[in-house]
Structure 1
Amino acid sequence: MVETRLTGRIFLAAATLAGTALVPALANAEPAADVNWSTLNLTVSTENRGEAPRTAVLSCHPVGGSHPHAKSACQTLSAVDGDLNLLGEGQAMCTLIHQPVTYTARGYWQGRPVAFEKTYSNKCIAEASTGKVFAF
């Protein structure tokens, strides 16, 4: 009986010391996910009143969300470090029909806030400029 109490006290002391040693380490630790997480809420809208805006969620680091081409979209965004304003004018043979489309992105890229909105003269030009980012 005395041996059981002694073993219990030794175990309690060891657990207390181990927990005390971990507290400073945990207090200064930053979760890796907070630094690299990237999630964007994407919207495609037109001036056509009969057409509802389309939306998708794109997650990168790790890749996921409701976006059907998440891997390609994340690769495109990685190339510009999440700054959609740096996406260039794409090369495509587009008609000159004026049917404006607005692309909007709100969220975070590797923990930094993202706020993007741009209206393109038509869907062809928009898709050529943004790759798979708004292809949903």
Structure 2
Amino acid sequence: MVDTRLTGRIFLAAATLAGTALAPALANAEPAAEANWSTLNLTISTENRDEAPRTAVLSCHPVGGTHPHAAAACQTLNAVSGDLTQLTQAQTTCNFIHKPVTYTARGSWQGRPVVFEETYSNQCIAEATTGKVFAF
């Protein structure tokens, strides 16, 4: 009976040591995988209260979500390292009609938090600036 108790304690100690040794390795492995993950919740809203905001989820690294042009949107964001404030207006002709539209993005880009909100004077200028990112 003494051998059984001693064997059980030795086994328990060995299992505890093995688990303790693996814990730091596992803890370090998971954040590295999540660091490349990028998911943004995108919203387009207007001042018109009768018009419901449009939303989409954009995932990059890997590409996916509910965004209809996810690959092109991710390519645009990759070019600016996920910093939507770095998107610049493309050469295009837009009218001067003042009909504000607000684009919002919340989520994470390769482990960094993303909080973006910009109101553009109209849809044409918004699309010319953000490309496919808010094309949904």
TM-score range, shorter chain: 0.7 to 0.9
Q: 1:30 is matched by which residue type in structure 2? A: A
Following the alignment from structure 1 to structure 2, what is the Cα–Cα distance between the partners of residues 124 and 73?
A: 17
- TM-score normalised by length of structure 1: 0.81
- Structure 1: which 5+ residue stretches go unaligned? 1-12
Q: 2:29 is matched by which residue type in structure 1? A: E
Q: Please say if 1:24 is aligned against 2:21.
A: yes
Q: What residue is the counterpart of 1:7 in the other structure?
A: none
Following the alignment from structure 1 to structure 2, what is the Cα–Cα distance between the partners of residues 25 and 39?
A: 29
1:1-136 pair list within 5 angstroms: 20=18, 24-28=21-25, 29-31=28-30, 32-136=32-136
How many residue pairs get aligned? The number is: 121
- Aligned Cα root-mean-square deviation (Å): 1.8
Following the alignment from structure 2 to structure 1, what is the Cα–Cα distance between the partners of residues 20 and 109?
A: 30
- TM-score normalised by length of structure 2: 0.81
Q: What residue is the counterpart of 2:4 in the other structure?
A: none
- Structure 2: which 5+ residue stretches go unaligned? 1-10
Structure 1 segments, 4+ long, off by >4 Å, are none
Task: Say which SS state the counterpart of residue 30 (structure 1) adopts.
Answer: helix
